Structure 1
Amino acid sequence: MRSRVFAHTVRLTVKPFLDVWGRYPGLVWPAGLLDYGARYLQPTRGIGRHRVRLDNCAAEWWEHGVSRGEASTGEGTEGSGTAILYLHGGGFMTCGLNTHRVLALRIGAASQASVLTVDYRMLPRYSIADSVADCISGYRWLLDRGFTPDRIVVAGDSAGGFLTFSTALALAGLGLPQPAGLVALSPLTDLDPTMKLARAEGRECPLIPSSVLLTLAEIAGRADGETPTVSPVDGVLTGLPPVLIQVGSTEMLYVDAELMAQRLGAAGVPVVLEVWDRQVHVFQAAADILPEAARAVARIGEFVRDRVEG
């Protein structure tokens, strides 16, 4: 019942606003206002914060086991713990460290892991390739701090799920080792909106209107210039680490999650696709009020612990 009320509320409030943006993207939209307004959200207790500067963007390091108010050095000791590289969603254009802090740290707590969240560069000023480069920079930061790849899991939601897969695909080309696992929450995996718009799930989605997908594809194409971004579903997936995908049964990106799981399986990659009945896009962020979301986060924690302990 809580999930139904939550989905209905989102459908009546957030979805119409997104639809207006999708139809009139040329208007002046304060994309950074959402993350700015979320700066007062309180982080999970029992975790110490350390500001990080990567090559071209900022990041936050939340050290598991260090209480708020205590100094966090940002230094890892080889083999001493688990790290999650978390990549926030927001359509490559909005949200940031503040909006996704609670979700990222909740996943970290469930996984008994420290978390590095990356404030990657975004559209339309930068390309998705720039976003991926920033995510790789975060991965290198963890390696430089002594975290071995078998103790690192890359996770992200929505557009951050796209970046999770794109980052893993880019590592091979750079000669960097793969992480222990990948976690994608309601991931966007295909910039082409055709399949999503043709399926019934998209019409039932409480959050994402079709206009947003069409506009996002157009903006991403302009930012890419002469080098189009390759969607993860079209990448060479062989050799990726085990993957956990969670998605709601009636959301727009269900098609992307399903297709990605199918192609991962065909490439020989161990993958678990969890379809949560009638849950909204990135419902895990509402773990404080939705029992299903709390269980989903617990499942993520189990997956991460199994990957680094197995």
Structure 2
Amino acid sequence: MRTRESTIIRHWKVSWRAWLVFWIVRIFVKPLFAAWPTTDRGIAALGHLEKVVDRLPRPKGVSIEQVSLGGVPSELITHHRRAADSLAGATILYFHGGGFVFCGLATHRSLCSVLAARAGVPVISVEYRQLPHGGIGTSIRDAMAAYTALLDTCEDPSKIILAGDSAGGYLAMKVAELAATEGLVTPAAVIGYSPLLNLALEQHDPDYMARDAYLPMSQVEALKDRWVGGPDPIVGADSPIEADPRLFPPVFFSVAQYELMRPDVEAMTGLLEDAGQAVETHVWSGQIHAYPVFGQVLGESMTTIAFSLDFTRRALGYRGRHSAA
């Protein structure tokens, strides 16, 4: 069952797998994250998670190639099927989540493989620098370097789709903003799975924020100074929600009912709609932050991925300001 109000679609049915994931994460993972030190040593220890995941069997049915995009290590994932609809000639540039401290190509390889297979287009996953190697400004610098290089190498630069979850959703929106302000070819669309749209999360109701299944606000507050520090400043608006909404292409959002990102996702949806920009947002009950990363494990993840690709097909079928179908 789902209900719709304006461009926000709410989904209420929860599968048993999603229910199980929610409570496992709530009971075991959130307390671990809350206690994890945000020192360089603690962040480095989290990096071992990426190495462990990288040893797991790789997704079948896709080709995976290590590439460099603008000097940034990346991974090109392709499927033998090629899009024959409005996505033909498109490329998805994906920025993984992880709070600018952990995760990488391996942790998001399954999701990117699903996107490549379902869309029938190349997906390039970007391994941008994170803490302790640089703050958010450094991450943005790498993301822009990758996007700028892709404009010169992809099949059709007018058909680049930016995508990302959590911190990666922040980068996708920032690249779209900066491409517009710097006079570059702008992306055709943005997909944000539980995107971080506001660095000032502490401004929201603390009782609501405490209901997030596994992201503790205490760690967000501990990391904030390190996010905005570093050798590279944040160019443009500090947070995507502070940018001119007219700068953005058609945008698709998904978010869990109870998570840190939801207030700003819904607020950003309203800003984009008021500015006449195409936007579609899905709010899912019983899910955790960035649940599409689970890929084929959760039915809700696969459905959300399908919705996001359907949205981009409509966006590429008609470029410019328009209302979501």
TM-score when scaled to structure 1? 0.88
Q: Mind listing any 5+ residue stretches in structure 1 that lack a counterpart?
A: 68-78
2:78 maps to which residue?
63
Any runs of at least 4 consecutive aligned residues in structure 1 with deviations exceeding 4 A, and if so which? 224-229
Classify 1:307/1:41 alpha carbon distance in 2 versus 1 (closer, same or farther; 3 Å). Answer: farther
Classify 1:211/1:199 alpha carbon distance in 2 versus 1 (closer, same or farther; 3 Å). Answer: closer
Deviation at 1:102, TM superposition (A): 0.7
- Stretch of structure 1 that moved more, 154-163 or 56-65: 56-65
2:4 maps to which residue?
none
Deviation at 1:226, TM superposition (A): 7.0
2:8 maps to which residue?
none
Of 238, 241, 250, the match for 1:233: 241
Tell me if the contact between 1:42 and 1:102 (Cα under 8 Å) persists in the aligned partners: no
The secondary structure found in structure 1 opposite 2:24 is helix
Of 111, 131, 138, the match for 2:139: 131
Deviation at 1:308, TM superposition (A): 2.9
The secondary structure found in structure 2 opposite 1:176 is coil
Tell me if the contact between 1:111 and 1:300 (Cα under 8 Å) persists in the aligned partners: no
What are the within-5 Å matches in structure 2 for residues 25-104 of structure 1?
Answer: 25-26=38-39, 28-29=41-42, 30-65=45-80, 81-104=89-112
Deviations 1:257-301 (A, max 9, x none): 112212222332211111011211111122333221221111122
Of 296, 300, 312, the match for 1:288: 296
Of 203, 211, 219, the match for 2:218: 211
Classify 1:276/1:224 alpha carbon distance in 2 versus 1 (closer, same or farther; 3 Å). Answer: farther
Q: Mind listing any 5+ residue stretches in structure 2 that lack a counterpart?
A: 1-15, 319-325
Deviation at 1:306, TM superposition (A): 2.6
Tell me if the contact between 1:154 and 1:181 (Cα under 8 Å) persists in the aligned partners: yes
Take 2:234 and 2:163, find their aligned partners in 1: how far apart are those partners? 26
Of 198, 202, 205, the match for 1:190: 198
Tell me if the contact between 1:150 and 1:308 (Cα under 8 Å) persists in the aligned partners: no
Deviation at 1:192, TM superposition (A): 0.8
Deviations 1:20-74 (A, max 9, x none): 12xx42372113211111102344333222221234420111133289xxxxxxx
1:72 maps to which residue?
none
Classify 1:265/1:216 alpha carbon distance in 2 versus 1 (closer, same or farther; 3 Å). Answer: farther
Take 1:167 and 1:147, find their aligned partners in 2: how far apart are those partners? 19
Tell me if the contact between 1:180 and 1:308 (Cα under 8 Å) persists in the aligned partners: yes
Deviations 1:209-228 (A, max 9, x none): 11121012121133268768
What are the within-5 Å matches in structure 2 for residues 270-281 of structure 1?
Answer: 270-281=278-289
Deviation at 1:80, TM superposition (A): 5.7
Classify 1:105/1:57 alpha carbon distance in 2 versus 1 (closer, same or farther; 3 Å). Answer: same
Take 2:57 and 2:147, find their aligned partners in 1: how far apart are those partners? 25
1:254 maps to which residue?
262
Tell me if the contact between 2:245 and 2:272 (Cα under 8 Å) persists in the aligned partners: yes
Take 1:217 and 1:20, find their aligned partners in 2: how far apart are those partners? 17
Take 2:148 and 2:240, find their aligned partners in 1: how far apart are those partners? 21
Classify 1:15/1:58 alpha carbon distance in 2 versus 1 (closer, same or farther; 3 Å). Answer: same
Classify 1:226/1:153 alpha carbon distance in 2 versus 1 (closer, same or farther; 3 Å). Answer: closer
Take 2:284 and 2:234, find their aligned partners in 1: how far apart are those partners? 36
Deviation at 1:156, TM superposition (A): 0.2
Deviation at 1:158, TM superposition (A): 0.3
Take 2:112 and 2:26, find their aligned partners in 1: how far apart are those partners? 24
Aligned-residue sequence identity (percent) comes to 31
The secondary structure found in structure 2 opposite 1:108 is helix
Deviations 1:105-157 (A, max 9, x none): 21222222210111001123212122112112222232222432332100000
The alignment yields a C-alpha RMSD, in angstroms, of 2.2
Tell me if the contact between 1:85 and 1:115 (Cα under 8 Å) persists in the aligned partners: yes
Take 2:20 and 2:233, find their aligned partners in 1: how far apart are those partners? 45
User: Number of residues paired by the alignment?
Assistant: 296
Tell me if the contact between 2:138 and 2:231 (Cα under 8 Å) persists in the aligned partners: no
Letter in 2 for 1:166: K
TM-score when scaled to structure 2? 0.84
Deviation at 1:302, TM superposition (A): 1.4
Take 1:85 and 1:94, find their aligned partners in 2: how far apart are those partners? 19
Classify 1:26/1:167 alpha carbon distance in 2 versus 1 (closer, same or farther; 3 Å). Answer: same
Deviations 1:78-105 (A, max 9, x none): x962210000000011111111111122
